[in-house]
Amino acid sequence: MPRQRSVVFLHGWTMRGSIFNDLVARLPAEFDFHTPDLPGHGKRARLEPSLEVAANTLAGVLKAQDLRDVVLVGWSMGAAVAWQFIEQYGADRIAGLMTVDMSPRLGCNADWLHGLIDQGDADLAQTTQRMIADWPGTAEAIATTMFARREGAPGYSRKQALDQILSNDPASMIAMWGALVAMDKRELIGQLPCPLLATFGARSRVYPKSAAAWLARTAPRGRMHAFEDSGHSPHLEQPEAFAETLVDFAGSV
């Protein structure tokens, strides 16, 4: 693996870049780490919460530090941002993409069964209305479904997750949620110009494992990896295994 391989971590919806701090501490010194906050979140809370602006933010990070041969790690929403970036800017600077428990289309229907579990288009509309009516209750549900176990991960509890979710502006979170619901990157995946490792938590309560399987078989250079004792957040639930998988992937691209 080349020295100073740049890795850019893209966090999930309602989270922030610091969610990767524990993982970064477990990785070799040969990596050059970047954990930006995405629009609507953390230090970039005032930026427009959209996938297009998030892709522009990522482009700015890569350009400002002249990062090349980059491994992108996109967790949930972060994967959507990576796909949007590739759609807008291409993959000249990207060596490989590792996605974490994500689907290219959230809503399920008769022709697409790999979106959010038990969420058809009508269900998603109802979910959005519940968010608008009761953001604190929504935050509780998000914090609970993030993990395989209700109490959370060994180094990041459900309470910590809830506090982080509630630190965000609800209107910004709902706007970004709307962008995710409207997304459909299935055509892009079939033409993805870089290697893809589609990872997932085998105990995820958010997406079915078939989402990762679809990504792996549809991307021209796709493969998949399961974290058997994880839910939606394997980098938090199985950090050592996640670190090993990332190192192996970075060494292969």
At position 60, the amino acid (one-letter code) is: G
36-69 burial code (b ≥16 CB/10 A, e <16): bbbbbbbebbebebbbebbbbbbeeebeeeebee
**Which position has the token pair 């970075």?**
250
Q: Select 5-252's CATH number: 3.40.50.970, 3.30.390.50, 3.90.850.10, 3.40.50.1820.
A: 3.40.50.1820
Q: Residue 191 in 3-state DSSP?
A: coil
Span 24-82, pLDDT tens digits: 999 999 999 999 999 999 999 999 999 999 999 999 999 999 999 999 999 999 999 99
Instruction: Break the chain into its structural domains and give their ranges.
Output: 5-252
Please state the pTM of the whole predicted model. 0.96
Span 163-192, pLDDT tens digits: 999 999 999 999 999 999 999 999 999 999
Per the structure block, which two tokens stand in for 209?
A: 């494992």
At position 115, the amino acid (one-letter code) is: G
Give 239-248's long-range contacts (Cβ < 8 A, gap of 24+): 239/22, 239/23, 239/26, 239/155, 240/26, 242/23, 242/199, 243/23, 243/26, 243/27, 245/98, 245/197, 245/199, 246/7, 246/27, 246/71, 246/73, 246/98, 247/1, 247/27, 247/28
